[in-house]
A and B are shown apart, each in its own frame.
Chain A
Amino acid sequence: MKRRLKSQLKSQMKMIYEAPVPQGKEAFLQKIERMEKEEWRQEEELSCWKVLGIQIGYIRKWNWLVSVLFFAAVIVAEQSVKGRTLWGLSAFVPYLALMVVAEGLRSTRYRMEELELASRFSVKYILLARLGALGLFQLCLLLLLMPFLYTIRREAILEIGIHILLPWLSTVFVMFLMIRKMHGRESHSLCVGTAVIVSGACMTFGIMNVSMFDLAGAGVWTLLLVSGAVLAGREVYQFIRQSEELQWN
């Protein structure tokens, strides 16, 4: 009842009071458009560094957590457990590398590539953020481990460095090489296989109590380490460069 009365009142009022003719409508609409454009210009003020920073925020939290936990676990293990720990470290490190690669391949895995490729800040920035940030973080942790282990163990720093860095670098190199040469699920599963193979080889040397210097001299290992670093860096660079071309190009 009340509603009917209200609507009746409304229509009566409309008949009695006519709305005035709009004045300056065009100017007002243009003003709004100009304001929109200004807002748009403000919205554009986002540098690529800021974008990189935003992308780092999208890296999954557990990637950081696992890396930190690994670092902490090594410190605890070294205090309490002796024995095959160096080879054990070498066996775990390829999985850290796998985490970095998996983070970089998330776009492909979840079929977001097309959307990300067509964006203003393209896939290159996403990959730089994911691979660069997480990769560098892990590398820093590994480098920090070296002096720590050197103070506790009797092995030389070179030996420790090779045990920690060479499996990581070689896994990164092989995985990115495979991703570039092959596409799709096959390359993803081969990445997993690579990490497992490198890890398996390290575990094998560990259980057989083989010293790395039984296998080759210090010079050879140093050369392998340097080559690993160069090749891994090169493959990552090529991967980022290639990512801008769509996989079915």
Chain B
Amino acid sequence: MRNFWMLTKYEYKKIFQKKMVWVMFVVLSGICFLMSSVTYFATFTKEVDGKEEKMSGYQWMTRIREEDKELAGTSIDEAFLSRLKENPDSVGGKITDTVGMMQMEQYDVQSLTEQSLYEKRLANVQKEWEIYHLNKEEKEYFQKLEDTITKPFIYEPTGGYDKATRMMMVSALLQTLLAAVCIPAIFGDEHSLKTDQLTLCTNLGKRTLYGVKIFTGLSFSVITSMLLCLVSALPSLIVEGTEGFGAPIQLTQPDVSFALTVGQVFLMMFGMCVLAGVLHGAVAMFLSEKLKNPAAPMAIIVGFLIVTFFVNVPEQYRVLSQLWDYVPQNVTSWGLLNVRMVPAFGEYLYKWQVVPVLWLTISVAVTVLGYQFYKRYQVTGR
């Protein structure tokens, strides 16, 4: 066991001795931080109490946060809408964003009533059912979920959770790149540098050696995932606050029917990013051992990532589009709460329930398969 940790230490040493790993981690963290905090440093000219005032994004968000606190407990009902129609500027905070999102395409306060607002919201929700080609049973299921949601919505400050959750798609993307570049070297370098002739002679056996490398790769992936997520999320949480953990998700995503809170979605997204890191790490290591090369897995993973930018499977191909939906990049870029479900044992499993099981299963499968290749490898033909 002592040897296991000693070997792990040396595997980590091999990773961290490369300047590239440090440069990439620092630069990618910088990008995460900038994307989540650049608006706080920018200067805006805003109209406040009829006067134009210049202020930084940070000052503006602090003001919004105060206004949100004052609006806590406000019911988005007829009374509120009348107040909004009478004097739109008297209502601050993010509540108007919520009202706008509930209407989606046409933001029009003057003709709004409580009934029409919630009807528009429901219409948007049902439109999504059509887009995803839900069948009759699934629609009924979601209708039941809809019926459990308390209306009118009671506004609560959602703090920085909404932005923090959105920013984690950036960290997930960049962690994929970090994993693609840094992790294949764990196995690939042994072949390209021809040190496999030495390391495979270990009296600890191939199994221990493989275990050490897998542990190093996966732990590196998990740790970097968590760090990048924190770098993305912390600026929003610090500036916009951490109140609103228990606020219903409908306040930031009105077209969602699930009974989830903003905080729960934030934690789910965090978990997904970490699991995506595990999946990418496992796949990168498997490919590098199979191909005996640290460069090819990088090309494959990055190439696949770029393909997700261009390729979209139309929803009418239900199974294919659902499988494509489970690709890490599509899950983490705000696709976590769509209405896709998997029927299982008389129940429906949501995406955030299926994805962890699927990704972990794939990770375990490629790890086991990779061991078979590793076990049988013979140093010849060089």
Contacts and interface: CB of A to CB of B under 8 A. Distances in A.
Interface in B150-194: 169-170, 173-174, 177, 180-181
A30 interface: no
B324 to A, nearest CB: 13
Given A189-B20, A204-B35, A196 B170 contact: no
B309 A206 contact: yes
A88 B170 contact: no
Contact of A95 (B20, B35, B169, B302): B302
Given A203-B173, A208-B170, A192 B298 contact: yes
Contact of B18 (A88, A92, A189): A189
Nearest to A92: B306
A224 interface: no
Interface in B115-129: none
Contacts, number: 71
Contacts of A192: 20, 181, 295, 298
A204 B309 contact: no
Nearest to A76: B310
Contacts of B305: 203
A30 B271 CA distance: 85
Contact of B302 (A186, A196, A207): A196
Interface in A191-212: 192-193, 196-197, 199-201, 203-204, 206-208
Nearest to B18: A189
Nearest to B193: A185
Nearest to B36: A208
B309 A87 contact: yes
A193 B169 contact: no
Contacts of B177: 196-197, 199-200
A85 B19 contact: no
A206 B309 CA distance: 9
Interface string A81-124: 10111011001100100000000000000000000000000000
Contacts of B298: 192, 196
Contact of B31 (A88, A95, A186, A200): A200
Contacts of B169: 207
A197 B28 contact: yes
B311 interface: yes
A142 interface: no
Interface residues of A, number: 26
A190 B20 contact: yes
B180 A196 contact: yes
A203 B180 CA distance: 15
B273 to A, nearest CB: 14
A15 interface: no
Given A88-B310, A91-B309, A193 B31 contact: no
A65 interface: no
B170 A84 contact: no
Contacts of A9: none
A247 B18 CA distance: 20
A81 B20 CA distance: 35
B361 interface: no
B302 A197 contact: no
Interface in B276-328: 295, 298, 302, 305-306, 309-312
A29 interface: no
A88 B309 contact: yes
A66 to B, nearest CB: 10
Contacts of A196: 24, 177, 180-181, 298, 302
Contacts of A16: none
B170 A81 contact: no
A190 B31 contact: no
B74 interface: no
Contacts of A5: none
Contacts of B19: 186, 189-190
Contacts of A190: 19-20, 23
A84 B24 contact: no
A199 B35 CA distance: 15
Contacts of B333: 207
A77 interface: yes
B27 interface: yes
Interface string A199-233: 11101101110000000000000000000000000
A73 B169 CA distance: 26
B27 to A, nearest CB: 5
A91 B306 contact: yes
Contacts of A197: 23-24, 27-28, 31, 177
Among B20, B177, B333, chain A packs the most CB atoms within 10 A around the CB of B20
10 contacts: A85-B310, A92-B306, A95-B302, A189-B20, A192-B20, A192-B181, A192-B295, A193-B23, A197-B177, A200-B173
User: What 8 pairs between A and B have smallest CB-CB spacing?
Assistant: A88-B309, A193-B20, A189-B20, A200-B177, A77-B310, A193-B24, A196-B177, A197-B27
Given A197-B24, A204-B31, A207-B170, 6 more contacts: A73-B310, A85-B310, A88-B306, A88-B309, A192-B295, A208-B170
Interface of A: 73, 77, 81, 83-85, 87-88, 91-92, 95, 186, 189-190, 192-193, 196-197, 199-201, 203-204, 206-208
